Amino acid sequence: MTQSNFAQRLKWLRERRGWTQEELAQVLGVSRATIAGYESENKGRIPREEILIKIANTFDCTIDFLLGRTNALDQFASHDTFPLNEDEQKLISTIQKLSPDHRKQVQQFAEYLLSTEEKGDRKPVVDETQPGDLNITELAAHMENEYGPIDPDLAVGIRRVIEEVLMEYDIVKKRTR
């Protein structure tokens, strides 16, 4: 197995958890640069055994997996062949118990949620942003992305506060000029 395989797998495992390199570094008690080194396919560093064990424990996987012994390289391209984590297993076993009709509904709902997440990630370009044009749906989508379902009035309320603060700022700035 090539070393770059370990680099790819570590990165994949980390991103799957939604962790930054910094966060993983904290968990493993190493520096962020060390993690970056492990994940760099060019450098191809493999950690010493003590850290390897820590990584395997952190991600609940075997060292064989980390080093690419249990999965052929071509399987790596497809995430489907990777072991599921506890949450994913639970999700799938629940869905398997549903009637075909309900399964379809879950599928549709999941697709809908995914589409809203994708929308929330889209950010307007800087030059197009006008404070007055601050879009409520986008604000709400962002908030929802960050904190889960929110009260629609919250986005409206926050927008009002922002406008008030901007006005206050402009007045203060004029006065101090």
Partner 1 sequence: MDELFEITDREGIYVSYKKLEHLANGNLLGFYFYDSQRGQPFIVLERKIDRWPILHKCVLAEEIGHYFTVPRSKFILPYASYRERLYLSIDERKALTWAAKFLISLRDLKKAIHSGCETIHDIADFLYVTPEIATIRLQQGDAREYLSDWIGTRSYLS
Alpha-carbon distance of 116 to 141, in angstroms, equals 7
Q: Is 131 in the site for partner 1 (CB under 8 A)?
A: yes
Residue 41 to residue 13: CA distance in whole angstroms: 15
User: Which single residue is written with the structure tokens 């799938």?
Assistant: 92
Contact map string, positions 25 to 64, toward partner 1, x by CB under 8 A: xx--x-----------------------------------
Nearest CA among 14, 2, 81 for reference residue 44: 2
Q: Which of 74, 86, 118, 146 binds partner 1 (CB under 8 A)?
A: 146
Tokens 């000029």 label which residue? 177
Using the rule CB under 8 A, which residue among 48, 80, 99, 147 binds partner 1? Answer: 147
Closest by Cα among 81, 47, 85 to 66? 47
User: 3-state DSSP call for residue 61?
Assistant: coil
Binding residue (CB under 8 A) for partner 1 from 60, 129, 136, 152: 129
154 lies in the site for partner 1, by CB under 8 A = yes
Which chain residues interact with partner 1 by CB under 8 A? 18, 20, 23, 25-26, 29, 123-126, 129-131, 134, 138-139, 142-143, 145-148, 150-151, 153-154, 157-158, 161-162, 164-166, 168-169
